[in-house]
């Protein structure tokens, strides 16, 4: 089989290390929800879930099909679907997925479906907008929400939650504290009208680090599980979970005046040895890394990317590197390399790791 030879290695020990790092910041009774949306932040959602399932309380995905994939793989822990869509709500019940109901349109539709199927206390989650202005009810909606839910015996609120807008930014501390306080007020008001207490959660990774006093009942661990904190000091205590590797397909000698790649973007000023690597922008390597803005590691040395990154390949300068065709190439194997790529492409590490193409094979290193 002519498989893609580039691979993404997922480091299971690093994943467990990072989980334990954040566990140590939590109160003994604080539950942990692990976010595995977007293929586990570009790794593999099923692999990540299997690595940590016995040590966490909940998983979260963005869309229904992501949750269905986990269920089909045998994941049994509760799964919160953060952004369910109306056409998919029946599949949620079919696969025991728990929806975030964020406005009246989807709330009413799901309540009607739950009554039709007579689900009895089906777990639902209600999100509130406290400042991110993305998804969620407003505090003024509380009365109508409770009125609608109390009409049915077929659903039960599993959790109430909100999302912090700038928990990583110390300059936004006042805004973040106001979000937390407003959310606490919402929870208190809802608790007064229920005869049970739903799980409460607002903290994301940066929130766990910066606002430990707001753990409530559960926290949501996302990017932190994959090796990134909200500053260099925290990231240094975490371990890299994504290792992207390839090989040298071909080595060429380029004479002075000859060019490399599309649009003849690289012109050799002297005899240059180039190596062609079978990975390109279709695999998540930004074209902005071409023309010596980025580099790969070959035999422990930096090899700058020359010319434009192609769809399926990139070329690097190996003039001063002792290497041969078939040698291993490291695209990244450390947070600093990922952060460098993010810096050079004017983005954030999230985008670098989630952009890794699904045609790149995944491999779990135990």
Query: Left (φ > 0), alpha (ψ -120 to 50) or beta: where does 141 sit?
Result: alpha
Q: Which two tokens stand for residue 35?
A: 């976010």
Residues 319/273, Cβ–Cβ less than 8 Å = yes
- Helix, coil or strand: residue 253: strand
For residue 174, what is the enclosing H or E element?
Answer: helix 173-191
Query: So which residues are the catalytic ones?
Result: 37, 262
Q: Could you give the residue ranges of the DSSP H alpha helices within 24-63?
A: 37-42, 45-52
Residues 317/274, Cβ–Cβ less than 8 Å = yes
Q: What angle do CA 31, 200, 124 make, to 5 degrees?
A: 100
How far is residue 209 from each of residues 24, 29, 162, measured CA to CA in Å?
11, 17, 17
How many helices (H) and strands (E) the chain has is answered by 12, 19
For residue 111, what is the enclosing H or E element?
Answer: helix 104-117
């Amino acid at each position: 089989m002519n498989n893609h030879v580039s691979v993404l290695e997922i480091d299971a020990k690093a994943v467990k290390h990072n989980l334990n790092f954040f566990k140590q910041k939590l109160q003994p009774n604080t539950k942990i929800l692990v976010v595995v949306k977007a293929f586990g932040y570009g790794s593999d959602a099923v692999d990540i879930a299997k690595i940590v399932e016995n040590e966490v309380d909940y998983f979260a995905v963005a869309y229904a099909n992501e949750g269905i994939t986990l269920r089909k793989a045998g994941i049994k822990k509760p799964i919160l679907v953060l952004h369910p869509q109306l056409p998919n709500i029946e599949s949620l019940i079919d696969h025991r997925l728990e929806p975030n109901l964020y406005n009246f349109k989807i709330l009413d539709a799901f309540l009607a479906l739950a009554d039709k199927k007579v689900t009895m206390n089906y777990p639902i989650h209600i999100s509130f907008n406290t400042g991110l202005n993305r998804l969620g009810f407003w505090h003024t909606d509380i009365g109508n929400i409770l009125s609608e839910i109390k009409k049915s015996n077929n659903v039960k609120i599993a959790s109430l939650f909100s999302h912090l807008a700038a928990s990583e930014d110390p300059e936004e501390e006042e805004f973040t504290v106001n979000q937390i306080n407003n959310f606490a007020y919402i929870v208190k008001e809802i608790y007064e009208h229920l005869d049970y207490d739903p799980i409460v959660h607002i903290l994301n990774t940066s929130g766990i680090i910066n606002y430990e006093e707001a753990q409530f009942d559960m926290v949501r661990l996302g990017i932190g599980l994959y090796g990134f904190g909200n500053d260099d000091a925290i990231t240094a205590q975490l371990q890299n979970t994504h290792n992207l590797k390839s090989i040298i397909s071909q080595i060429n000698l380029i004479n002075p005046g000859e060019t490399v790649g599309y649009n003849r973007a690289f012109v050799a000023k002297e005899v240059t040895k180039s190596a062609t690597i079978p990975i390109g922008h279709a695999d998540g390597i930004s074209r902005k890394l071409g023309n010596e803005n980025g580099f790969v590691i070959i035999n422990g040395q930096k090899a700058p990317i020359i010319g434009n990154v192609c769809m399926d390949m990139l070329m690097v300068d190996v003039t001063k590197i002792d290497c041969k065709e078939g040698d291993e190439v490291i695209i990244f194997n450390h947070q600093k390399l990922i952060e460098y790529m993010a810096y050079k492409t004017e983005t954030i590490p999230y985008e670098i790791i989630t952009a890794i193409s699904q045609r790149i094979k995944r491999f779990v290193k135990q």
